[in-house]
Chains A and B, each alone.
Chain A
Amino acid sequence: MIASRWFPAITVMAMVFFAGAPLMIARAPYESTMGLVQKIFYFHVPAWIAMFSAVFVCGISSAIYLFKGKKFADHLAVAAAELTVLFGLIGLVTGPLWARKAWGLWWQWDARLTSALILWMIFVAYQLLRQYGGPGSDKLAAGMALFGMANVPFVYWSVNVWRTIHPTTNVVPTLVPGMSEALLWCSVAFVLIFVLTLSARVKLESHRAAIDRLYLSLDD
């Protein structure tokens, strides 16, 4: 994908969206109880959207790798797992920074925060396994990713099922127009950057596999 003609177009689009983000965010109305600090919302939610997308990409490609054995699916899974950790980290840092002002505390062990942290940790464990597990760790990591993906509906619906300090999923569909446009803009920006970094990372993984194959043929 990185070598295709779409890549420069998507890069330009991503840059435009990121450049326009501050304008959209500044234009968005203030939230009545939280004021300025609520504007973290426009990066916090898209970061988690990108993280969940990465988890799904990783989970689905892991399933394909496990059951069909396609090597490309493994490269995609590795790349998506790394991005899960990145976007999850952004979400986990922006959240408490917002919470400190909005809720008065940095962290709380409610259902949403706990399950989101656990989901993130599963993919950190994935990284450790791929790095230090040795041969055969690709299949085991694929199994891990499936368990991680199974967690996502739990994380998403935990705010609706339990009474949590974290807002419910009802907030996004009922946003006022100024806020929903800004959120949509930032979400598109994050998804575009997710697609770009994913394709670059997959390229890196494919190169590494090619080098391994070439070294093997060199030894023959």
Chain B
Amino acid sequence: MRLALGKVKDVRRRKNYITTLLVILVTGFLQTLTASSQNLLISSFTPLVVHVAQTQPAQDEFVPIDELPPEDQLPAAPLLIAAYAFAWVALLVYVWSLWRRLGSVERELADVARRISNRSGGA
């Protein structure tokens, strides 16, 4: 018993040591990253893709949205409606599938319980 307890304490001590080390390292690293973030030029994780020819020259400066040519102006309403609709539909479909699964599982549970009681009743 005493030997087993001793082993548990060793394991816990080692785990605590690893935790402290991890916390120190992670904090230190995050601080370093934050401090040097002004120098970091990582702006994207863009995969290596062969350049595709642009259909029109890129804009050089800011153009207010109502001065953009018509083909660049996207109507916002369909996107907004699609977003909310998707969220609602996804939630409803999930709740409905939960309902169905719960129903069938409860039926099966009742069936097995009945079979057990029949067996123990009959035996």
Q: Min CB distance, B8 to chain A, in Å?
A: 12
Known interface pairs A35-B76, A109-B45. Does A211 touch B108 (Cβ–Cβ under 8 Å)?
yes
A43 within 8 A of B: yes
B109 within 8 A of A: yes
Q: B79 contacts A37, CB within 8 Å?
A: yes
Known interface pairs A35-B76, A109-B46, A162-B40. Does A93 touch B105 (Cβ–Cβ under 8 Å)?
no
Max chain B C-beta neighbours (<10 A), residue from A35, A162, A165, A203? A162
Known interface pairs A101-B76, A108-B44. Does A94 touch B94 (Cβ–Cβ under 8 Å)?
no
Q: How many residues of A contact B (CB 8 A)?
A: 44
Question: Out of A47, A111, A204, A208, which one reaches B98, CB within 8 Å?
Answer: A204
Question: Out of A39, A110, A161, A203, which one reaches B80, CB within 8 Å?
Answer: A39
Q: B91 contacts A215, CB within 8 Å?
A: no
A217 within 8 A of B: yes
**Residues from 150 to 201 in A contacting B, C-beta threshold 8 Å:** 157, 160-165, 193, 197, 200-201
Bound Cα distance from A161 to B109, whole angstroms = 51
**Residues from 99 to 123 in B contacting A, C-beta threshold 8 Å:** 101-102, 105-106, 108-109, 112-113, 115-116, 119
Max chain A C-beta neighbours (<10 A), residue from B79, B101, B106? B79
**Residues from 204 to 220 in A contacting B, C-beta threshold 8 Å:** 204, 207-208, 210-211, 214-215, 217-218
Bound Cα distance from A44 to B84, whole angstroms = 9
Question: Out of B30, B47, B90, B109, which one reaches A210, CB within 8 Å?
Answer: B109
Bound Cα distance from A180 to B86, whole angstroms = 23
Q: B105 contacts A97, CB within 8 Å?
A: no
Q: A97 contacts B90, CB within 8 Å?
A: no
Q: Min CB distance, A123 to chain B, in Å?
A: 15
A90 within 8 A of B: yes
- B-chain residues with CB within 8 Å of residue A203 when the two chains form the complex: 102
Task: Enumerate the 4 nearest inter-chain pairs by beta-carbon distance, A residue then B residue, closest first.
Answer: A37-B76, A36-B76, A109-B45, A94-B83
Known interface pairs A36-B77, A207-B105, A214-B112. Does A110 touch B83 (Cβ–Cβ under 8 Å)?
no
Question: Out of B74, B84, B102, B115, which one reaches A100, CB within 8 Å?
Answer: B74
- B-chain residues with CB within 8 Å of residue A162 when the two chains form the complex: 37, 40, 42-43
- A-chain residues with CB within 8 Å of residue B105 when the two chains form the complex: 204, 207-208, 211
